Structures are given as structure tokens and as C-alpha cells.
Amino acid sequence: MKQIVILIFSLIVWASRLAAQEVRGVVTDRNHQPVEAATVIMQSSDSTFVDGVITDSLGQFVFHHKLERYRLIFQHVMYKSLIKEYKSTEHVGTVMLESQDYALGEVTIRAERPLVKAENGALIYDVAALAEKSVAGNAYEMVIRLPGVLEQNGVLTLLGAGEAAIMLNGRPSSMTSGQLINLLKNTPVSEVEKAEVMYSAPAKYRIRGAVINLILKREKSEKCFVRGEIGGNLSKGAYVRGNGHASLSLTGRNVTADVLYSLDHAPMKTAHDLVSHHTLGNQVYTVEQHNTGDKKGLTHNVRASLDYQIFGEDHLNMAYSASFVPSVKMVESSAGSLSDSFNERTGHKQMHNLSVDYTSDWGLNAGMDYTCFSYPSVQHFTNHQNDKIQIFEADSRQRIGRWNIYAGQTHALSSGWSLNYGINFSFAREKSSQMYSVREGEDLSDLNSETRLNEKTYNFYGGFEKAFGNRLSLSFSVAGEYYRLADDTQWAVYPSIQLSYLPANSHIFQLSLSSDKSYPDYWEMQDATSYLNGYAKVVGNPDLHPSADYTADLTYILKSKYMFSLYYTHVKDLFSQLPYQSTDELAMIYQSVNYDYEQNFGLSVILPFSAGNFWNTRLTLDGSFFRDVCRDFQKIGFDNKVWRGIVMLNNTFQLSAKPSISLELNGLYVTPSIQGIYDLSSVWKVDAGLKWTSANQHTELRLTGNDLFDSATPDARVNDRGQCFEFHQHADSRYFTVSFTYKFGGYKSREHKEVDTSRFGY
């Protein structure tokens, strides 16, 4: 251990000496917007040329030299040249250029911006160009409109790569998908500079698999000012839903403080019909149950953060996040041929997170966060079945505390090489219990449970990036992981490769190879039983273990807009909750199990078209082969295969330029598919939207309709080896929304580090 500490300290000292030889800064205009492609020339005090660089898309530049005295010359065709003198003890910071006035005759230039380009193993999308061709009003709506991205039931998937994680400015999110979606919905699309889609994220991002990385615009100000935004929306589906948010941001030269509050009221209605032909012994029982329910709760979200620019590009960020649901209420009634039951669960959730993150101008990123989550609830259950009555209360509790500590270093080496390495440690303690109190009927005390889990994950990674001229680039990284949960310990190695090749400007090839591991929710691994109604119950699985997946993707891009992808995915030990008809009792049991594996390979094609400035459309076609195998599923097993097709058509019509009025009409069709033992029906969906934006860009009004024909939820059927039942879903997916947003004080949304509670709850 002592040798490791000495080694880490030596590496930090070495990196500090490298950083001491750098000069960094940012070039902006009078509106504090970054100036890209500005030339910055370094001279010694006697006017001898030392080096010259070009600013990037964020206006940033860096010299790997530092003299006692030196001169910087800033030049750009659209701005007046500027010369400034510096000493070695001074920091360049932000340099502001004055606009250069030109008197030109009338000139009209027409060109089409490229939809996508390949860079460092990622597909880079110009968000401004995409936003012009859609009615997207926030960052989340822009994400689901990225080519190849599919949203189903609030889950984002990337065609050919499965579920995709979201990152902001290269930092992995630690929020649940619902919390992250809420944050992105409150981030204006105008604040997203670009989107990076990676089928295989390098290890330096501390996240594996498919990733969508949103790069937010950054801003600095010599003067202190306040900005903010207020907004809200009202939706009508089965219930009326509402959301409101307000935010304030104080921005100065070195300090930015943000406060955000949002209130979300989103009641949901659920309904499904179950027809089960249940074989018990030598007799077949037909069970028909109609189930209806709803879920209600008022969610309060609070966030306060402080970002301090220590010097240069050194930043210290501290944030506190909290989410409160004072009263969660879920009710389900079931009536049918077997039983009549009423199930009500009430409780309250709360989550607190404190994070500290430090980023240096010499490539170091280190930090920690702590999350505390609790969810106590009480279930009231009544069931009438024949002449029997069962009445009980179940007191369930879950409390989780989790620490995450990380540090990573990146070095820009000579000849275009880049080296990165780091560590990431996670520690979690989960305590849960479920106690039954029977008022009438069968004794259930043997189902009482109390469990404690201690989970530890140690991750080490290293990698490099190299550009071989302008045509070929390579990124390679390896992550080693030690995982321990109770007495279960696992060692794993996760390689990742991204290779980009541009034989010509109109042709791009990209190859991605990756591996990843996914972890089940804590509650799924408990030895607990929960009753849903008189026929169905959920049983935990203490033997559940993580899954490992391996993905390969080859993408060809023609003329920076037409995309063709060939992909293959193999997931070992995929875990999923599946139902089965018990052979011991007349009951449907839901339990999360590990498959042997899931395979998926296919081809996707994305074809954009346009008709002047009035009509823009994008056609997406995907065909793939799925195979789910679990040979030991409840002693019967399954091996299901299917060919699945997806067709998506996105259309935007520009009805007016002044004022800006856009109409969007989107369609989706998915052929029949499978999920474990399920056979799923085909689904189709039509969405529409109308957006009006004021001339000064401060006010926006939007009208949208989701799933206009209420056809986006599949039915499920099982008829295999004695298991015979079907579900007919009646989801609350059709709703109409009106939303209003007003920005004041030059509002600019800022990046936040989010909280991961994806494995919490039950």
C-alpha cells in the first residue's frame, strides 16, 4: 500500500511539472461567446516567434511553453487584432476581441451543413443544424431526435448498441433515468453545442457501452449578472398532469452559483387484462382478471451548486441535490374469475446527494459524492377468493448509503498521442426489510425478511488515443474491475476500441468494439415476496448476478449524412423479470432471472431528405435478429428467436419564418418481437407538435400530442411447454401537452453532475 501511495504521488508531481510549462486561455467576443478558429501567436519579449495555435469550438487554446516574459497576438478575420504582454506569474484567462466592421455588397451563399462527422471514435452531430429542422424545445427532445436513437417507455436505446447512457460534458450521470430526463427537459436546446454518440465509450469516461455525450455551451463574464428561467406545462391524458420549474443563476468572472426548484405532478393510470390457462396437477384452470390502477405523487426537486474558477481552467464544483416525494400512493384493483382484490401502497421517498468535483487545466479530474436514499412504505392488501378472505399489512423499508471516489489524469503527448489513466471506487450499503401483519386469513410470518448488502467495486483503467494524420484515428482502453457483493467476488477486464478511417472527405468508416457489465436493482436481489393481487406476486432472487455484454459495430457515413450500420451484441447472464405459472399453487409468479445469453445482430440505415426550407424528413430502417436463451428457466427453459423490423419517419414543416412557426409529424412502426419467454405484438405510434417562438427568442409556446392513436404499447403472449397466458395492455400513453417558457436576464443553463439512484426502490 505504501508503494502505491508513493507511485501515485510521484505521478501527480510529474504531471504538475508538465502543467507548469503550459499557457492556457479562452478567446470570446463582446457577448461572451467563444471565438472559434482564432489564431494565437506566442512571441518572446524580443519578438522572436515561439509557437502558433488555433482556438477550438469553445474558444480555448494551449501552448506547451511558458517563458519569463512573452507576448500573445490574437487574430481573426472577423475581429480586430489584439496584442497582450504577460509574465510567467500571470494567467491569460479570458481574452475579449472587438468585432471588425466590413462594408460588403449583397452576397447570398447557400450551403448545407453536414449532419454528422467522425472524431476520436465518436459520431459528432451539429445540434444547431438538427434543431433548425425540428420543434424540439429542450435538450431531451433533441436527444430523442438524434439519428438512430429510439425511445420506448422512457428508455433511450441506440440502434445496434442497446440502452444508451447520457453524459454531460464528458461526465457520467449518477441520476436515475427519470431524474436525468427531468434535467434535460429543463435545459434549452440552444444551450447544447453538440452531441457525441459513442457505440463504445473509452474507459476515461468511467462508463462503458453506448453513450450519448452532450456538450453544453460554456460562458464567462467579466461583469456579474443574474439570469433565470420560468416555465411550465399542462398535459391531458387519463389524468391532468402538470410541471413547473424556476431557476436562478449568478454568473461572475470566477464564480457561478445556481439554484433550481421544480414541482412535478404526474399521476399515471395503469390497466391490463390477463387470461391464464393454468395447469395445476392434471387439471387446467382458466383465470381471467381485469386489473386497473393508478400512481400519484407530488415530486419536489431542489438543487444548489457553486462553481469556482480557481485560476486558468482549474475548477472546483460543489453541489447539493435532493428529491422529495412526501406522499406516494399506488392503488390496484383486480376483479375476475379467481378473486377480487384491492392493493394499496403508501409511503414517502427522499434522496440527498452531496458532490465535490475538481478539474485542473493540466488534465486531472478528481472528486467524490455521497448519496443517501430511503423509501419506507406500507401495503394494505385485501383479497376475496371463493369463501376465503385474506387481509394483511406489509411494512417495507429500504435505506441505501453509497460513496463514490474517483481520480483520472489525461496527458497530451507529442506526435498526436494522448494518454489517460485513473481509478474509480464505489462502496454501497443497503438495508431492507419486509414485515407482514395478518388481520385475517393465512399466516404469512414465514415471508418476513430483513437483509443487509455490502457492495464494493474497484475499477482501474488506462488507455491512449492517436491520430495518424487527418484520415485515421485510434482509441484503445482497458478497464480492470474487482466486484464484491457479500461472498460473491468477481474479477473482470473490459477492453474498448474505436477506429475511424476517412478514405475521402465524403466517406467515413468507424469500427467500435466494447464490453460492459450491468447490475440488477438492490431490491430484486432480496429474499422477499410481495403480493400484487389475488393471483400474482413478486418473488426476489438472492442468486441474481450481474450481466456482461459484448458489442461490435461497423458504421459507414456517406456525404456526412447517410448512415449505414452493421452490428452484433452478445449479452451473457442478461437479467430480466419474467412471469411463470407456478406448478405448486394457483399463482402467477414474477421473478428476475439470469438468461444464459441474448444475441442480436442486424443492419440499420438512416436516410435524410429535404425539400427547400419548407420540408425536412429522415427515414430510419432497422432489421435485426434476436435470440433469447435460458435453458434452466423454472425447469422448462426457453430458446426464442425472431426477426424484428423498425421503421421511423420524422418530418418537420417550416410554416413561417417570422414569427417562427414549425410543425412536426413523426411516425414509428415495430414488427412483432420477443422478450424472454414473451411473444410481443407489433406496435405503431404517431406524434405531432407545433412550436411558436417569439422574435427575441425569450418566449416559446408549444402544443404537442403523444401517441395520437393510443397504439404504442404491445400485448404479450406465452404458449410454450405448459405455460399458457396472455396480457392485453391499456397504457396511459396518449396525452396532449401545452407548454410555456420565458427566459430573462440572458439565461444560460449550466452543466450539473447528477445522482445515480437507478438501482434503488422496489
Question: Is pLDDT larger for residue 761 or for residue 588?
Answer: 588
Query: Is residue 753 classed as helix, strand or coil in its secondary structure?
Result: coil
In a domain, residue 158? The reply is no
Q: 445, exposed or middle or buried, with CB in 10 Å at 0-12, 13-18, 19+?
A: exposed
pLDDT digits (tens, 9 = 90+) for 557-593: 888 788 999 999 999 999 999 999 999 999 999 999 9
Q: Comparing 59-68, 365-374, 477-486, 603-612, which segment has the lowest mean pLDDT?
A: 59-68
Question: Is 746 a residue whose pLDDT tops 60?
Answer: no
Mean of pLDDT over the chain = 83
Where does the pLDDT of residue 201 fall: very low under 50, low under 70, confident under 90, or very high at 90 and above?
confident
What confidence score (pLDDT) does residue 178 get? 57
User: What is the chain's length?
Assistant: 762
User: What would the pLDDT profile of 281-308 be if each residue is shown by its tens digit?
Assistant: 889 999 999 999 999 999 998 888 888 8
What pLDDT digit, counting tens, does each position of 327-338 carry? 999 999 999 999
pLDDT of residue 660: 81
Integer Cα distance of 410 and 363 in angstroms: 5
pLDDT at 16: 41
Q: Cα(658)–Cα(226) distance, rounded to whole angstroms?
A: 29
* 153 within some domain: no
Structure confidence at residue 605 as a pLDDT band (50, 70, 90): very high
Residue 4 scores a pLDDT above 50: no
Question: Could you give the dihedral angle defined by the CA atoms of residues 61, 64, 66 and 67, in that order, rounded to the nearest 10 degrees?
Answer: -110
Residue 243: band (very low, low, confident or very high) from pLDDT cuts 50, 70, 90: confident
Angle at 553 between CA 549 and CA 559, to 5 degrees: 155
Same domain, yes or no, for 232 and 92? Answer: no
- Average pLDDT of 477-489? 87
pLDDT score of 224 more than 90: no
For a pLDDT cut of 70, what percent of the chain falls above it?
87
Query: What does residue 524 show for φ and ψ, rounded to 5 degrees?
Result: -65, -25
d(CA 525, CA 202): 30
Our count of domains for the chain comes to 2
Position 3 scores a pLDDT of 47
Whole-number Å distance between alpha carbons of 259 and 248: 5
Q: What is the pLDDT of residue 412?
A: 82
Q: What is the mean pLDDT of residues 610-628?
A: 90
Residue 316 confidence (pLDDT) above 70: yes
User: For residue 474, what is its C-alpha cell?
Assistant: 485510434
| pLDDT surpasses 90 at 462 | yes
What are 318's strand-pairing partners? Answer: 306, 356
The reply to whether 683 falls in a domain is yes
Mean pLDDT of 143-158: 77
Give the confidence band of 389 by pLDDT, cuts at 50, 70, 90. Answer: very high
Note whether residue 749 is domain-resident: no
Q: Is 112 helix (H, G, I), strand (E, B) or coil?
A: coil
Cβ neighbours around 67 below 10 Å, total: 17
pLDDT at 761: 61
Query: Residue 278 pLDDT > 80, yes or no?
Result: yes
What is the band of 179 on the pLDDT scale with cuts at 50, 70, 90? low
Cell numbers describing residue 163? 440502452
Helix, strand and coil percent figures for the chain, each rounded to 5? 5, 65, 30
> Is it the case that residue 112 has pLDDT exceeding 60?
no
Residue 250 clears pLDDT 90, i.e. is over it:
no
Closest CA to 541 of 630, 640, 426, 673: 630
The predicted-structure confidence for 681-694, as pLDDT tens digits, reads as follows 999 999 999 988 88
599: pLDDT strictly greater than 80: yes
Of 197-206, 244-253, 501-510, where does the model show the most confidence? 501-510
Diameter of the chain measured on Cα atoms: 101
Residue 731 lies in a domain: yes
Q: Which of 101, 84, 26 is nearest to 58 (CA)?
A: 26
Greater pLDDT, 277 or 468? 277
- State the Cα–Cα distance between residues 147 and 470, nearest whole angstrom: 25
Q: Note whether residue 182 is domain-resident.
A: no
Please choose, from the candidates 539, 627, 537, the residue with its C-alpha nearest in 3D space to the C-alpha of residue 586. 537
Top pLDDT among 7 and 575 is at 575
Q: Is 361 left (phi over 0), alpha (psi -120 to 50) or beta?
A: alpha
In the predicted structure, residue 510 carries a pLDDT above the cut 70: yes
- Residue 76: CATH number of its domain: 2.60.40.10
pLDDT of 183: 66
- The answer to whether the beta carbons of residues 314 and 333 sit under 8 Å apart is no
Domain boundary among 56, 72, 96: 96
Instruction: Note whether residue 131 is domain-resident.
Output: no
When mean pLDDT is compared across 186-190, 232-236, 584-588, the lowest value belongs to 186-190
Which residues are CB-contacts of 388 (< 8 A; sequence separation ≥ 6)?
441
Is the separation of the CB atoms in 336 and 292 below 8 Å?
Answer: no
Parallel, antiparallel, or unpaired: how do β-strands 536-539 and 449-468 relate? unpaired
E-strand ranges in 12-107 read 23-28, 39-44, 49-54, 60-63, 69-76, 79-87, 93-96
- The last residue of one of the domains, among 68, 96, 124, is 96
Residue 438: strand pairing partners? 392
In this structure, is residue 137 part of a structural domain? no
* pLDDT recorded at residue 331: 95
Q: Which pLDDT score is estimated for 105?
A: 47
Q: Distances from the Cα of 344 to the Cαs of 328, 341, 396, 655, in angstroms?
A: 10, 10, 13, 49
- The whole-number pLDDT of residue 405 equals 92
Query: Can you give the residue range of the structural domain that contains 506?
Result: 225-744
Rank 152-156, 163-167, 534-538 by mean pLDDT and report only the highest.
534-538
pLDDT of 121 > 70? The answer is no
Please state, in angstroms and as integers, the Cα–Cα distance from residue 289 to each residue in 292, 525, 536, 677, following that order: 10, 28, 10, 21
Which pTM value belongs to this model? 0.75
| For residue 17, pLDDT beyond 60 | no
Q: Any idea what the CATH number is for the domain that residue 507 is in?
A: 2.40.170.20
